[in-house]
């Protein structure tokens, strides 16, 4: 049986991690509450990464206990066992692991080699499973790298096979730069499924530099991908990927599926209000010219 559509809104994590204006804790809580109220059961709420690496998200330990009751499908990025421990203490049922298909991007993003990262993630996954957490996996730069250009399919397959051994619940292919084409999406979905025996549900985490994200969504959906990630207002990017575009816009993604007669369960009117509120918060906390120059 084909899976039901799942859209995970990643605004509180990926959307805010390199936002131009800092979003205070209470506004982050209101954002998660608003997303769940609008119909999103799946929300990536924060990142349990050291704040020196992601200074816009230093407050996950305070955020999660305030929102964990809203949905059983909340998730946070956790790069290692310490991140998983923080997720457990905060009350989350699931974590997202991430590694890059590009050696250069992995070094920039995680400050270590791909092989060292996979070793750490393998230990992290075992620990998370031992504590009865769901473990999701993501392959960053699964299409193109800001430093190396086109990423070989073999690199993506290698990462997918490693995640399969970790026992991940879902596996996302991330278009970190936002330059993937439908042809590339089809190619990599096919290759990963062959390598993992179609045993892991695939998802797409799309950025939208070229305006092709919805075409990529359509291609993936035709190939039975049912997990997609997006952010309000197309916010987001990667602080360690020069030229990375914002995420595919949540409202556009929802409207796209609804136009095809595919029910999302999301209230677009509520989303529009929430987007305006969030952008106003970010605008209020933009650095002053003096702060920007310091």
Residues annotated as catalytic are 238
Cα distance between residue 46 and residue 112, in whole Å:
22
Cα distance between residue 180 and residue 200, in whole Å:
22
Angle at 182 between CA 181 and CA 185, to 5 degrees: 90
Q: Name the residue among 44, 47, 67, 65 with its Cα closest to residue 57.
A: 47
- 36: its two tokens: 């769940």
Contacts 24+ apart (CB under 8 A), 124-128: 124/78, 124/79, 124/80, 124/81, 124/83, 124/84, 124/97, 125/97, 125/166, 125/167, 125/168, 126/166, 127/81, 127/84, 128/78, 128/84, 128/95
- 46: its two tokens: 């924060």
Contact 204, 217 (CB under 8 A): yes
Q: Name the residue among 69, 89, 63 with its Cα closest to residue 11.
A: 63
- 81: its two tokens: 């066992």
Contact 166, 97 (CB under 8 A): yes
Cα distance between residue 204 and residue 170, in whole Å:
10
Q: Give the count of alpha carbons within 13 A of 10, CB side only.
A: 31
């Amino acid at each position: 049986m084909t899976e039901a559509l799942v859209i995970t809104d990643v605004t509180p994590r990926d959307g805010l991690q390199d936002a131009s204006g800092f979003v205070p804790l209470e506004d982050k809580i209101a954002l998660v509450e608003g997303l769940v109220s609008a119909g999103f059961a799946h929300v990536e709420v924060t990142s349990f990464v050291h704040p020196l690496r992601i200074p816009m998200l230093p407050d996950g330990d305070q955020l999660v206990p305030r929102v964990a009751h809203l949905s059983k499908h909340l998730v946070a990025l956790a790069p290692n066992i310490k991140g998983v421990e923080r997720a457990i203490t905060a009350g989350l049922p699931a974590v997202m692991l991430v590694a890059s298909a590009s050696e250069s991007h992995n070094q920039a993003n995680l400050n270590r080699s791909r092989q060292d990262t996979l070793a750490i993630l393998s230990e992290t996954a075992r620990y998370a499973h031992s504590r009865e957490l769901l473990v999701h996996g993501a392959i960053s730069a699964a299409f193109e790298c800001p430093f190396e250009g086109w990423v070989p399919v073999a690199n993506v397959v290698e990462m997918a096979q490693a995640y399969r051994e970790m026992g991940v619940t879902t596996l996302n292919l991330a278009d970190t730069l936002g330059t993937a084409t439908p042809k590339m999406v089809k190619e990599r979905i096919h290759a990963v499924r062959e390598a993992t025996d179609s045993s892991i549900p695939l998802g797409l985490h799309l950025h939208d530099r070229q305006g092709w994200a919805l075409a990529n969504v359509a291609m993936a959906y035709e190939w039975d991908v049912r997990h997609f990630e997006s952010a309000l207002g197309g916010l987001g990017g990667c602080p360690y990927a020069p030229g990375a575009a914002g995420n595919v816009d949540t409202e556009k993604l929802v409207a796209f599926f609804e136009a095809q007669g595919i029910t999302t369960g999301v209230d677009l009117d509520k989303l529009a209000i929430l987007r305006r509120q969030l952008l106003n918060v970010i605008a209020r906390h933009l650095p002053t010219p003096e702060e920007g120059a310091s």
